[in-house]
Amino acid sequence: MFPLHRGRRLRVNESIRSLVRETTLSPTDFMFPMFIAEGENVKVEISSMPGIFRRSIDLTVEEVKEIYALGIRAVNIYVKVSEDLKDNTGKESWNPNGLMQQAIRAIKSACPEMIVMPDVALDPYSIYGHDGIIANGDVENDSTVAALVKMAVSHAEAGADFVAPSDMMDGRVLRLREGLDAAGFHHVGIMSYSAKYASAFYGPFRDALDSAPREADVAVPKDKKTYQMDYANRIEAIKEALSDVEEGADMVMVKPGIAYLDIVREVKNAVNVPVTVFHVSGEYAMIKAAAERGWLDNDKIMMEQLMCIKRAGASLISTYFAKEAAILLNK
């Protein structure tokens, strides 16, 4: 009689394990974050993110075609703008002929079925490296939101399928929805960075876009903790996600990923919209660094982490491993 139930019967071989596997991964589970640079035929590797590049629009389009062929159906795009276009208003962000707007048009023209979700935040355009407009020594919420609406509408005009506000300003989802609808873009969705924590895992990303907070000749916050969330908090993430859904978000995001899987599950249980998880640059860089030293197996750790993010409740995973993982899955 000992024991009646043996769990190992369901682990005997890979065929049995695959039959009872609770969570599966597919290339359609991934969104690929892409960095776009000025110029033509530009491809510059980001030193802190081996295998990830800033590409000019022409090479970005070629990469988009390649990943679409692998089964990836969404890209999250960011731009590195020249210093002379940066100021404290972020006005370049809604330039109809700006780098982001050109990139959206080029991607949608070359690969119409690819879902394009441009980043909506002012840090790539800010002389201070912050996600909004600086006033009285801090990021001013409401004027920033007004700028974000102009930015989002310009993205929609260029052909974006979703806009992805990553700024963490209060009330911005409602104003974005109102602004998009007023401009006739009822079909353009909002993927809100709802629970974006003030994390040290973002370092390599800020290298890629030169978007870290900077010292200035005026009073400027030294970090982003007045608007990004305190990583000690859990209930606040649920509140933020529910608030964004009430304001009109079509998807919500938790960022970072692996260190925040408890938050992913809490948010998944609380909302009735898809939950995106951003497997961020620092998480990518740590795996790459350990693999280069022979301490970890890159492919095995990559797939384990992505599977765990999906298991925790992610409907979509934004990850720099998207292309690598899709290639492995297709094999």
**Which structural domains are found in the chain, ordered by start?**
28-330 (3.20.20.70)
Calculate mean pLDDT across residues 81-97.
96
User: Around Cβ 287, how many Cβ atoms within 10 Å?
Assistant: 22
Separation CA 193–CA 170 (nearest Å): 12
Q: What is the per-residue pLDDT across 197-236, written as a single tens digit (0 to 9) for each?
A: 999 999 888 777 776 676 766 788 889 999 999 999 999 9
Q: What is the per-residue pLDDT across 102-115, written as a single tens digit (0 to 9) for each?
A: 999 999 999 999 99
Give the helix/strand (H/E) hosting 109. helix 99-110
Q: What's the mean per-residue pLDDT of the chain?
A: 95
User: Active-site residue 268, yes or no?
Assistant: no
Candidates 194, 151, 197, 158; CA nearest to 173 is: 194
Q: What is the per-residue pLDDT across 139-195, written as a single tens digit (0 to 9) for each?
A: 999 999 999 999 999 999 999 999 999 999 999 999 999 999 999 999 999 999 999
Calculate mean pLDDT across residues 18-29.
97
Question: What local confidence, expressed as pLDDT, does residue 211 receive?
Answer: 65
Calculate mean pLDDT across residues 309-322.
98
46, pLDDT greater than 70: yes
User: Active-site residue 86, yes or no?
Assistant: no
Residue 240 in marked binding region: yes
Of the listed 86, 196, 288, 310, which one is catalytic?
196
* pTM listed for this prediction: 0.95
Question: What local confidence, expressed as pLDDT, does residue 293 receive?
Answer: 97
Of the listed 86, 108, 224, 255, which one is catalytic?
255
Separation CA 320–CA 20 (nearest Å): 29
